[in-house]
Amino acid sequence: MYDGIVQELIDEFGRLPGIGPKSAQRIAFHILQTPSFDVSRLASLLVDIRERVRFCEICGNVSEQERCAICRDPRRDQTLICVVEDAKDVAAIERTREFRGLYHVLGGAISPIGGVGPDDLRIAQLMQRLADGTVTEVILATNPNLEGEATATYLSRLLTTLQIAVTRLASGLPVGGDLEYADEVTLGRAFEGRRAV
């Protein structure tokens, strides 16, 4: 639609997740027409990111060093490990400031349809971390969907062999949500998990 490089840039932005053709066009024109936007900075970050970012050798979180900032922090509770699917989930939990233990990033969830089995996840590394007996509780914080539940079930069975408490995040109504609009499964979970007040 456009001459050469403008269309190339639009196409390239369109390859990123969540960016459709219209958004890609808007972004390309913004870059073209906004002199204050620092293109060279974005360009150099793109070039550097793959070289500079690695995954923490202990927990699998993103890190610029061999061990991530959380695994390096001695003030974190070394007896607690929260198991998540993805590094993005670590950031989401950190934002709550509710958890002061360590993490373990699986790198996905078991999905027979997606062709992801237990051997494709960082489960062996988790078992190795639990071997020395320091950890007393493993919190399974995989997503509350089919794959996440399957992964949590698989892990909880695997961990029964060890003398470690295994817990799962509570499912229920989202805070600030409207009961009327909750789906049946969530509402059912909220009933199952009801507490005395």
Q: In the 8-state DSSP scheme, what is residue 45? A: H
Question: Ramachandran region of residue 75, left (φ > 0), alpha (ψ -120 to 50) or beta?
Answer: alpha
- Cα 9 from Cα 175, distance rounded (Å): 41
Q: Which of 76, 78, 94, 153 binds its own copies (CB under 8 A)?
A: 94
Out of 58, 59, 60, 68, name the contact with its own copies by CB under 8 A.
68
Dihedral sign (CA 57, 58, 61, 66)? negative
Should residue 174 be labelled a site residue for its own copies when binding is judged by CB under 8 A?
A: no
**Total residues in contact with its own copies, by rule CB under 8 A:** 52
The interface mask with its own copies, positions 113-152, x = CB under 8 A, is: ----------------------------------------
Q: Which of 14, 29, 129, 150 binds its own copies (CB under 8 A)?
A: 29
Contact between 98 and its own copies by CB under 8 A: the answer reads no
**Parallel/antiparallel/unpaired status of strands 54-55 and 62-63:** antiparallel
- CA torsion sign for 3, 4, 10, 15 is positive
User: How many whole angstroms separate alpha carbon 77 and alpha carbon 101?
Assistant: 4
**Closer residue to its own copies, CB minimum distance, 13 or 154:** 13
Tokens of 1: 């639609």
* Shortest CB 85 distance to its own copies, Å: 12
CA–CA separation, 121 vs 158, rounded Å?
A: 14
Inter-residue contact 139 to 81 (CB < 8 Å): yes
Span interacting with its own copies, options 59-67, 96-104, 123-131, 145-153, rule CB under 8 A: 59-67
Binding residue (CB under 8 A) for its own copies from 14, 26, 136, 187: 26
Strand pairing category for 101-105 and 77-84: parallel
Identify which range of 64-72, 135-143, 171-179, 181-189 contacts its own copies by CB under 8 A.
64-72
The answer to the question of residue 100 lying near its own copies (CB under 8 A) is no
Which positions touch its own copies (CB under 8 A)?
Answer: 1-6, 8-9, 12-13, 15-19, 23, 25-32, 37-50, 52-53, 62-65, 68-69, 86-88, 91, 94-95
